[in-house]
């Protein structure tokens, strides 16, 4: 450790495989939030790389509106027999350009958000300059068995993970799944974060639940949103004032088609929304519903908790690590009868929750200070600094 890094803030390079970009404005927005938690503790530079078939030239852009220096590189994606070689050459060129502007050797630590593919660069920086790197992993791909990876991709993933100084999965379940594929390393689970200044406590504490909200990418294979709609179509025949809002940056047309014959306007569909808009929608509702087939630990759960909303969710992967009888209800995946019974019981006032206690749970486990301190503590341990 240099005298400079001892006397000043640690300098950390974030390499983001997932990050909001011009082609997907919400990709990895949870990675961005993790980075923000560390602003009081370390000096930050953020770097992301994306390729696209429509691009004509290489560019590295500074991202405006960020709270820390953030740069995203773009380069043309190639077709044809030599596409992988050309992709690698262009990636190396982008890395060299960035290294000229921000020399890798100046950093004390590299923090990778989502191991593949930018963990490859972190691995190179460690071998070249001796700079340690850590990984925060979010991907639900590791929850699928067998993994749908090529032999070469799996080889690279194992190389990246096993050479990291520490791995920060967002749930214990994700840690278990990473171990299953042969990763042997130091783990420290750090969950997703919520901005508790934006996601405020709902003012009214409900005893009867009429308004429910689902927030996700609406990826049907994972999120099973159609299952939620089927349940609410059935319930609405008996309870005409019940309402479901579906908020998603994904495709909603197939879901709207399912509700086409519903004449009571029990459904509202909202497209891509800002963080502030999501917070405003949450407090209009009484509970969050997730009916996923698999998950890690989605950000929308701590966001709902921060607003004092209980969560109805399937008992899958990392979710039961934080959702319990004090802040929600767990049911089995695909069990539409259990979802129906739970919603009806809430509607009838047979189940009650304390919104203030749910909010306090979020402050303790998912707030910016809580998560930022957790990361910074691990940094200091790895770098052996006080």
Residue 198 lies in a domain: no
Residues 378 and 357 reside in one and the same domain: no
Q: What is the pLDDT of residue 5?
A: 44
Rounded CA-CA distance 107/189 in Å is 24
Is residue 64 within 8 Å of 287, Cβ to Cβ?
no
Q: What is the pLDDT of residue 228?
A: 96
Sheet strand arrangement including 328-331: 267-270, 243-248, 211-216, 287-289, 311-314, 328-331
Give percent of the chain above pLDDT 70: 97
Q: Please, is 182 exposed, middle or buried when counting C-beta atoms within 10 Å of its C-beta (0-12, 13-18, 19+)?
A: exposed
- Strands, E assignment, the chain: 11-16, 43-52, 59-62, 70-76, 109-113, 133-137, 166-169, 211-216, 243-248, 267-270, 287-289, 311-314, 328-331
Please state the domain count of the chain: 2
Structure-block tokens of residue 367: 């707030």
Residues 33 and 139 reside in one and the same domain: yes
Query: Which value, to the nearest 10 degrees, does the dihedral of the CA atoms of residues 161, 164, 170, 171 take?
Result: 70
Whole-prediction pTM = 0.90
User: pLDDT tens for residues 271-321?
Assistant: 999 999 999 999 999 999 999 999 989 999 999 999 999 999 999 999 999
- Strands, E assignment, 197-316: 211-216, 243-248, 267-270, 287-289, 311-314
Residues 132 and 260 reside in one and the same domain: no
Does 322 score more than 70 pLDDT?
A: yes
Structure-block tokens of residue 88: 């690698």
Q: Please, is 30 exposed, middle or buried when counting C-beta atoms within 10 Å of its C-beta (0-12, 13-18, 19+)?
A: buried
Domain holding 132, by residue range, is: 3-193+367-383
User: pLDDT tens for residues 93-113?
Assistant: 999 999 999 999 999 999 999
Residues 105 and 143 reside in one and the same domain: yes
Residues 361 and 375 reside in one and the same domain: no
Residue 202 lies in a domain: no
Structure-block tokens of residue 360: 């306090």
Residues 229 and 150 reside in one and the same domain: no
Structure-block tokens of residue 39: 């602003």
Residues 29 and 148 reside in one and the same domain: yes
For residue 126, give the H/E element and its range: helix 119-129
Q: What is the pLDDT of residue 377?
A: 97
CATH number of the domain encompassing residue 81: 3.40.50.2000
Confidence of residue 121 (pLDDT cuts 50, 70, 90): very high
The overall average pLDDT reported for the chain is: 93
Residues 92 and 13 reside in one and the same domain: yes
Does 61 score more than 80 pLDDT?
A: yes
Query: Which value, to the nearest 10 degrees, does the dihedral of the CA atoms of residues 159, 26, 72, 174 take?
Result: -10
Residues 359 and 371 reside in one and the same domain: no
Rounded CA-CA distance 136/240 in Å is 44
Confidence of residue 339 (pLDDT cuts 50, 70, 90): very high
Residues 172 and 246 reside in one and the same domain: no
Q: What is the pLDDT of residue 44?
A: 98
Average pLDDT of span 215-229: 94
């Amino acid at each position: 450790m240099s005298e400079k890094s001892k006397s000043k803030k640690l300098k950390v390079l974030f390499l983001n495989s997932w990050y909001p970009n011009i082609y997907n404005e919400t990709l990895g927005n949870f990675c961005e939030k993790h980075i923000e938690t560390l602003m009081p503790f370390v000096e930050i530079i953020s770097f992301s790389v994306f390729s696209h078939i429509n691009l004509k030239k290489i560019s590295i852009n500074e991202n405006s509106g960020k709270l820390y220096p953030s740069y995203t590189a773009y380069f043309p994606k190639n077709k044809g027999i030599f596409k992988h070689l050309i992709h690698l050459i262009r990636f190396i060129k982008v890395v060299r350009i960035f290294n000229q502007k921000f020399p890798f050797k100046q950093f004390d630590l590299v923090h990778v958000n989502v191991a593949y593919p930018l963990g490859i660069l972190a691995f190179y920086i460690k071998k070249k300059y001796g700079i340690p790197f850590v990984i925060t992993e979010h991907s639900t791909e590791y929850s699928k068995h067998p993994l749908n990876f090529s032999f070469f991709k799996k080889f690279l993933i194992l190389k990246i993970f096993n050479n990291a100084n520490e791995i920060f999965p967002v749930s214990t379940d994700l840690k278990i799944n990473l171990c299953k594929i042969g990763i042997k390393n130091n783990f420290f689970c750090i969950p997703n974060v919520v901005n508790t200044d934006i996601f405020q406590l709902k003012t009214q504490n409900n005893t009867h639940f009429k308004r429910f909200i689902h927030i996700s990418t609406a990826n049907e294979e994972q999120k099973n949103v159609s299952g939620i709609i089927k349940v609410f179509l059935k319930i609405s025949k008996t309870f005409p004032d019940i309402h479901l809002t579906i908020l998603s940056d994904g495709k909603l047309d197939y879901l709207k088609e399912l509700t086409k014959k519903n004449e009571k306007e029990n459904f509202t569909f909202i497209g891509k929304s800002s963080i502030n808009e999501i917070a405003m929608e949450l407090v209009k509702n009484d509970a969050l519903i997730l009916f996923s087939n698999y998950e890690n630990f989605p950000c929308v759960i701590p966001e709902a908790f921060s607003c004092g909303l209980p969560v109805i969710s399937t008992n899958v992967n990392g979710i039961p690590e934080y959702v319990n009888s004090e802040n929600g209800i767990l049911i089995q995946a695909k069990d539409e009868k259990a979802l129906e019974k739970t919603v009806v019981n809430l509607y009838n006032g047979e189940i009650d929750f304390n919104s203030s206690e749910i909010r306090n749970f979020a402050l303790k486990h998912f707030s910016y200070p809580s998560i930022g301190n957790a990361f910074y503590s691990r940094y200091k341990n790895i770098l052996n600094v006080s």
